[in-house]
């Protein structure tokens, strides 16, 4: 018997007491030993919002496959996992198989070691460049295994001993070589500008800067990851910057500011931002790279409701 049919019959068989409970509560849970079945009503989202592991662990349980099933059951059509590269091949394959069954899209994973406190790509150091390119090559195999198109790249820390123009040239050269590895496989590295408040000293901070770098690299395998949380802190002006860099943006990530939690908890008008992205014809993934503003099951339900609200532009 299919999972959803089993769920429907279980609810109908529970009688009037359960029906009464369903009126007063937004969620009904029916469980059997060793397994949880989600009964939240499925929502038809306008775009491919992608939760991550752990976001719904109170409602879905700790098992990663159950969490994927839960995401699909409530209407999410994608999932991202920054730590995918560090998982075993067996787990990667298991995740990919389940997502394929559920017709879910795989979002980003981090493609390489990120240097948070010392220069690597900015320095032009050949050994560090070789390390980066080796990890990019390894990420090709991960991407193939999990059916991923996009992988996150962060060029690392600035080099205080080099003028910014030299640093930019060094980064561009590394990314050109990485693009040569990725292009034959139709895999795209997405460069993520990060804000100076949470990540001081990093080379890549702003969408216009990432746009300049991508134009210099000149490859379909080198695009921008526009993280709206970071960009709200760094420069704001989210929609105009988005429009100016549109041809080089391949992926979005979400987080409200302040707090880096779900939409509706901060200052960003995600209803208008999502509407604009949708009207631009974006069909890719918007990663939910944020925390939950409230702990527990109630907080997880609040995340789902926040996305329903922010997605209600049509």
Tokens representing 60 are: 């879905």
Of the candidates 88, 84, 132, 141, the one whose C-alpha atom is nearest the C-alpha of residue 108 is 84
| pLDDT tens per residue, range 298-312 | 999 999 999 999 999
CATH of the structural domain 43-310, one choice from 3.30.428.10, 3.20.20.150, 3.30.505.50, 3.30.572.10:
3.20.20.150
Cite the beta strand spans of the chain per DSSP E.
Answer: 30-32, 35-37, 48-50, 78-79, 105-106, 150-153, 188-191, 222-227, 249-253, 285-287
At 18 the pLDDT is 32
User: What parts of the chain have a pLDDT lower than 50?
Assistant: 1-37
Q: Residue ranges of the domains in the chain?
A: 1-39, 43-310
At 40 the pLDDT is 79
Distance from C-alpha of 98 to C-alpha of 120, rounded to nearest angstrom:
37
């Amino acid at each position: 018997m299919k999972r959803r049919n089993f769920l429907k019959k279980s609810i109908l068989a529970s009688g009037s007491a359960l029906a009464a409970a369903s009126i007063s509560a937004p969620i009904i849970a029916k469980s059997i030993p060793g397994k949880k079945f989600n009964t939240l009503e499925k929502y038809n989202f306008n775009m491919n919002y992608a939760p991550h592991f752990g976001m719904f662990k109170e409602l879905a349980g700790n098992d990663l496959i159950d969490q994927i099933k839960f995401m699909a059951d409530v209407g999410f059509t994608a999932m991202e996992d920054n730590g995918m590269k560090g998982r075993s091949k067996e787990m990667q394959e298991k995740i990919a198989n389940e997502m394929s069954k559920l017709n879910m899209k795989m979002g980003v994973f981090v493609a390489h070691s990120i240097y948070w406190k010392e220069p690597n790509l900015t320095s032009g150091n050949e050994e560090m460049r070789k390390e980066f390119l080796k990890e990019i090559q390894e990420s090709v195999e991960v991407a193939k295994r999990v059916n991923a198109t996009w992988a996150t790249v962060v060029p690392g820390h600035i080099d205080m001993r080099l003028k910014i123009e030299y640093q930019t040239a060094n980064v561009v050269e590394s990314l050109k070589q990485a693009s040569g590895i990725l292009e034959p496989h139709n895999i795209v590295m997405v460069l993520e500008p990060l804000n100076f408040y949470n990540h001081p000293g990093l080379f890549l901070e702003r969408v216009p800067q990432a746009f300049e770098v991508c134009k210099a690299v000149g490859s379909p395998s080198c695009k921008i990851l526009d993280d709206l949380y970071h960009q709200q802190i760094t420069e704001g002006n989210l929609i105009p910057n988005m429009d100016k860099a549109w041809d080089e943006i391949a992926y979005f990530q979400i987080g409200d500011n302040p707090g880096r939690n779900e939409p509706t908890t901060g200052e960003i008008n995600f209803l208008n931002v999502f509407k604009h992205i949708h009207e631009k014809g974006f069909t890719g993934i918007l990663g939910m790279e944020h925390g939950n503003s409230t702990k527990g099951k109630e907080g997880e339900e609040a995340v789902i409701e926040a996305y329903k609200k922010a997605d209600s532009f049509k």
